[in-house]
Chains A and B, each alone.
Chain A
Amino acid sequence: MKTQIEFHDPLFTSSLTDEKNGLNITYPLADEKNIKEVASQLRLNSEKYFSTHSIDEIQKISDTVDSSFDDLTKPENVELIDLIQASCGFSRYDIEHWGLGLFKSIANYDPEIRGYYIDKAIKGSGIIQTRFGYLKRFGLVNPFNRWKEPALLSHFISGNVVGYTAILSKLGLPVKKKGTAQILKLPSTASLFPLIYLNKLETIDKGLRQTIACGYWKGGDDLIERQIIEESDVINILSSDLVIKDLLNRIKRYHKGITALQHGHKIGIAYISGEFINDNDRLEQTLNGLVSDISAFDGGACYNVKNIYVQGDPRRFAMMLFTKLELFEKMVSPVSSNARSAGTSLYQIYRGSNNVISSDAKNVFVRVKENPEFWQPDDLFRYVQVMRVNDENEVYGLIRQHKQYLQTAIIAVPDEKIIPLLILLGRAGVSNIHYPGSAPLINVYEEPHDGEFDAVRVRYNYSARFAATNFKTNNDWMI
């Protein structure tokens, strides 16, 4: 007998049931016949709710929702993790640490300084010391642009990374003045977390839940998407470059001039300096961290490292990394076979090459390359390329032409190089510079997402980009 799971939405009242990995899941479905009415009702709900609740009140509600995922030993959370794992196939470790773990840092962030660093970075031009790292603006702020609260913000989301898909609903919460109504596209059956999160919100504050409509529609369905575009003041897209291009074309036709945030495909990098290659203790800790950065969500998330630049022997580094990756995959973060698509992979292409170390199970793949490049792998998974570089300037030269793919960089460098690397890599287009082992841990109150502070950007076009580190010295992560 299949487990029945039912999700409902207050505004998208149509539904459909789909079978996925032994679960019968009922989802809310967007219906082309009533999109306009849904949008109109959302705006009314939003107007009513945000005019009667203060920013502090709403922040507390949001913190309560986020805190509910703190204690992962609670029976309801254990059940939740089982359900997420059954639907998406990712490991419990990933769901607990990098999916639900994300909410802990958000809920626990000092309420007094939320928004403070972001505001400071937009207004100032130097390097700002944040609570956990450094933040820098790149480019000028356009003085003519003004703050404008949107009435409806719509999210077009693909992908199935737990946590990130739900965090987007926070963008509609008030930042300075008031909140906005939101429509969230549910990506698929393997991505039910946004509905779990919103269900939790509903149990805490029904009114706030009613400012958000979340449901499924087939990506690209113009009968639905045209109406959503026409009704929205801001569109937030997290998807493939192809989908972004298509949506931008349609936005131009159906609602020219509205704000569209674009979060396309990203490829993570790492730079390991000689000091961390030649010292065994530092190397060990760096490798241990990188293993998580490569393996989280089976290498399928935007922040996963794919290109590793080392100031030293790439083969030795690759061999050591491979051993740890393989062990980690077996012991800590195995992936259910249904999470992986059948078919060929880079493993099949390179399986005979003496420059590639790969597991027989085909899950781990480390390629060594003497001549460095910016590698854009066709497949995701735990596939990385290790390359020798002379220094960080060479890395800069290799990545700066690929700005659109840059987001996360893992660095293991001496303390005195952390700020210079923030400047150098930030100039190339990297936005999140993290210590090894922390690629998935974005701190939304002091780090940009793909160079943007989305919650601000949907209301105010500052026209600049930002980059941040999530550590100040190596003592912040090294034992």
Chain B
Amino acid sequence: MKKKMDESRFKEMLKESINSQWDKFEYYRTVCKKKNRSIHDLLRAIDNEEYYQIPAVTATAFKKSTGLFNELNDFSQAGKFQVSSSTSGDPSYIFTNPTELDKVADNYRLTFGIDGVSQAIGFSPSVRILDELSKKAAFMGYQSVARMKLALDGAKMHYSELTFTLDVDIIRTLLSKVVNGKVALKKKHLGEIIDIISTAERDHQKINFGGFVLLFNPYLEQLKDAQFSFADNAFFTFSGGGYSGAKGSMRGEKIDKPGMIRKIASVFGLNKKLFSTNLKDLYGFTESPAINEGYWSEEIEDFLFESWHESRVYIVDPETEDPLKNGEGLLKFITPYTNGNPSAANVSVLQLDNATIRGIRPDLIVTHFSHIKRMQNASVEGCAYKAEEIANA
């Protein structure tokens, strides 16, 4: 169960984190200076609960290609780099202290875990694969951990029976290591998946289907309509996006969300009434510990996300970064460190994802949002910018 954080406790933790971030990172002080904010302004904003006044560091500043590691991370404390899945080919590296790493894993436990459900199928690479990927991602003499690995750690804390669909094929890997040194992977056969599901159905056992839609959907497509009848015993917890057809090194077909939801309902016998309780997507990103839960809404034909309870979320104008009252803008997350001691300048982060405001408080804090999509910059087309296409054609 997520525990609601008292506002005064939130303020206290945020003040400690912001003070510490200000002291440690010249980069952050410069960002604030350019916005004409002193540390006193930031603390006053916290007192007045006007958190939007706290300038943010753009999430993409943590990308490997920017070379800003020394300016954005504090290596004076113990920690590891959290590494993103690198869909763009340019992963983010965020140095994270042990307390915060545990916190991220626990956040995943809370959001992947469904009360009263102990069995799950993870449509994801296994812990073994992610351990290997984490090892390979070591950087600047520091260990790294894939953010995805923290998600699995969280899931493992909750589920006593957890099966992954993608694992290392040990025999083929041993053979191929001799030939080309490559790791061979194996996917669970559809039959194995059907066996697990059928057993759960027969035993009236609750089961959660979690992980990446890109790995889940190919199985779903092969299942027949009305193949199972779970009523309210089946849960779905997707994570990591990938609806565009790409996630990390995984590639697949673009996924039509409403179409996928209809197919799930049809295959598993899920009543429409259960969509808003049993069908969930998680939205998070490596630059922030926040993990936002979104339940399917038939009305908006998308997942309706509730802002992470330990963050203050705003949707802001891309140019001015001012908070918006309605419509679409960039997501800004303000999340204090659990121990008040940031290991990276990510207490206030501007994520370059567009989202639509669905619920907002009078103080401009966004409570619900939907329709998340990656922001696109002007593209480069040969000589000069890609000029706008003619509208009426």
- Residues on A lying within 8 angstroms of B by beta carbon are 16-20, 27, 29, 88, 157-161, 164-165, 187-191, 216-219, 237-240, 243, 263-266, 297, 300-302, 340-345, 348-355, 360, 369, 378-380
Contacts and interface: CB of A to CB of B under 8 A. Distances in A.
Given A352-B57, A353-B71, A342 B318 contact: yes
B241 to A, nearest CB: 19
Interface string B67-82: 1100100000000000
25 contacts: A16-B390, A18-B391, A19-B391, A159-B382, A159-B383, A160-B387, A161-B384, A188-B387, A188-B389, A189-B390, A190-B388, A218-B393, A240-B386, A264-B382, A265-B381, A345-B377, A351-B31, A352-B25, A352-B29, A352-B71, A353-B30, A354-B30, A355-B71, A360-B34, A379-B377
A88 B392 CA distance: 18
B385 A380 contact: yes
A217 B389 CA distance: 9
A216 B67 contact: no
A348 B317 CA distance: 13
A240 B377 contact: no
A219 B376 CA distance: 19
Given A188-B388, A351-B31, A352-B31, A343 B378 contact: yes
Given A158-B387, A237-B382, A352-B71, 10 more contacts: A16-B392, A18-B391, A157-B382, A216-B390, A300-B380, A342-B318, A343-B376, A350-B61, A353-B68, A354-B30
Contacts of B25: 352
Contacts of B68: 349-350, 353
Nearest to A341: B378
B387 A159 contact: yes
Nearest to B90: A378
B377 A343 contact: yes
Contacts, number: 146
B163 to A, nearest CB: 39
A243 B381 contact: yes
A27 B388 CA distance: 14
Contacts of A355: 71
A240 B380 contact: yes
B60 interface: yes
Interface of B: 25-31, 34, 57-58, 60-61, 63, 66-68, 71, 318-319, 330, 345, 350, 352, 375-393
A263 B383 contact: yes
A238 B388 CA distance: 16
A349 B60 contact: yes
Contacts of B390: 16, 18, 27, 188-189, 216, 218
Contacts of B345: 352
A266 B383 CA distance: 8
A210 to B, nearest CB: 24
Nearest to B67: A369
Contact of B71 (A160, A354, A369): A354
A378 B30 CA distance: 23
B380 A265 contact: yes
Contact of B58 (A29, A157, A238, A349): A349
Main secondary structure, interface of B, reads loop
Contact of B385 (A16, A238, A300): A300
A16 B390 CA distance: 9
B379 to A, nearest CB: 7
Contact of A301 (B27, B28, B31, B383): B383
B27 A159 contact: no
Contacts of B378: 340-341, 343, 379-380
Contacts of A17: 392
B386 A158 contact: yes
A375 to B, nearest CB: 9
Given A27-B390, A349-B66, A238 B377 contact: no
Contact of A189 (B319, B379, B387): B387
A265 B380 CA distance: 7
Contact of A219 (B28, B34, B389): B389
Nearest to B317: A342
Contacts of A345: 377
Nearest to A18: B390
Nearest to B393: A218
Contacts of B393: 16, 18, 29, 216-218
B30 A343 contact: no
Max chain A Cβ within 10 angstroms of own Cβ: one of B319, B383, B386, B388: B383
Contacts of B392: 16-18
A189 B392 CA distance: 11
Given A350-B68, A353-B30, A378-B377, A344 B387 contact: no
A314 B377 CA distance: 29
A355 B30 CA distance: 11
A264 B383 CA distance: 8
Contacts of B387: 88, 158-160, 187-191
Contact of A348 (B350, B381, B386, B388): B350
A251 to B, nearest CB: 17
Nearest to A371: B67
A342 B319 contact: yes
A302 B34 contact: no
Interface centre among A188, A191, A297 (most CB of B within 10 A): A188
A227 to B, nearest CB: 17
Given A343-B375, A349-B66, A353-B30, A240 B381 contact: yes
A340 B318 CA distance: 13
Contacts of B318: 342-344
B46 to A, nearest CB: 20
Given A239-B381, A345-B377, A380-B380, A159 B386 contact: yes
* Residue from the set B25, B319, B377, B381 with the largest chain A CB neighbour count within 10 Å: B381
Contacts of A88: 387
A302 B66 contact: no
**Smallest CB-CB A-B distances: 4 pairs:** A341-B378, A352-B27, A188-B387, A159-B384
A190 B389 CA distance: 9
A48 to B, nearest CB: 32
A189 B58 CA distance: 33
Contacts of A350: 61, 66, 68
Given A348-B350, A352-B27, A240 B389 contact: no
Contacts of A352: 25-31, 34, 57, 61, 71, 345
Contacts of A191: 387
A192 to B, nearest CB: 10
Contacts of A349: 58, 60-61, 63, 66, 68
A59 to B, nearest CB: 25
A315 to B, nearest CB: 15
Q: B376, B378, B379, B385: which has the most chain A beta carbons within 10 Å?
A: B385
Nearest to A186: B390
B382 A265 contact: yes
Nearest to A376: B65
A302 B382 contact: yes
